[in-house]
Amino acid sequence: MRPARAVCWRGLLIALLCLAPLVAQAVEDIAQIKVAKGAVFIERGGKRLPAKVGTPVRATDTIITGPDGSVGISFVDNSLLSMGPNSELAIDRFAFNSTTHEGTFNTSLRKGTLAVVSGKIAKQSPTAMKVKLPASILGVRGTVFLVRVEE
């Protein structure tokens, strides 16, 4: 790394550290809603926001569908997640390095139905993607699978 650039990065890092107490979490968009039918919400920072096609999704969001709702989400690592009605999925952790493809993708399905096509994170490492259910945990080595949690 060139020295000028290194100084620049250090400056940025210090600025970010100063801002850290103000910004509780990284606000990077990690996915986007591509399909939305009926009632679909994103729970973010204690608030429930209506979601539609084009709404960005962030790490630590919770996605909720109503009795008539369904939603399809495309992630930056090409993972595709979709949910049927009366479903609730929390994104616990999402990290993706687009250079090395290393990352972590942890979600919790609290109720409802979920369809998954895993992406680059799971392809890079068979231990990087996990889906938690109320009584179990899924280790995702790929690729297409369905999950249901009854209420």
Partner 1 sequence: MGFAAAIALWVALVVGYPRGGHEMVVLLPDADGKVGTIVVETDKGEQVVLNSAYATARADPVGTVKRETVKEEEIRQTFQSALAAQPKKPVSFTIYFDTGSDELGDAMKPEIERVLAEMKSRESPEVTVIGHTDLVGANEDNDDLSVKRAERVRDVLVRFGVPADRITVAGRGKREPAVRTSQGVDEPRNRRVVIDVR
d(CA 69, CA 72): 11
Q: Which is nearer to partner 1, 25 or 78 (CB)?
A: 78
Stretch that binds partner 1, among 7-15, 16-24, 43-51, 110-118 (CB under 8 A): 110-118
d(CA 147, CA 104): 19
Which of 64, 113, 121, 128: binder of partner 1 (CB under 8 A)? 113
Q: Does 70 bind partner 1 (CB under 8 A)?
A: yes
DSSP of 72-94, one letter per residue? EEEETTS-EEEE-SS-EEEEEEE
Which of 71, 91, 121, 128: binder of partner 1 (CB under 8 A)? 71
CB proximity list for 140: less than 8 A, separation 6 or greater:
116, 118, 122, 126, 129, 130, 131
Residues engaged in binding partner 1 (CB under 8 A): 32-35, 37, 53-54, 70-74, 76, 78, 80, 82-85, 87, 98-101, 110-111, 113-115, 117-118, 126, 133-151
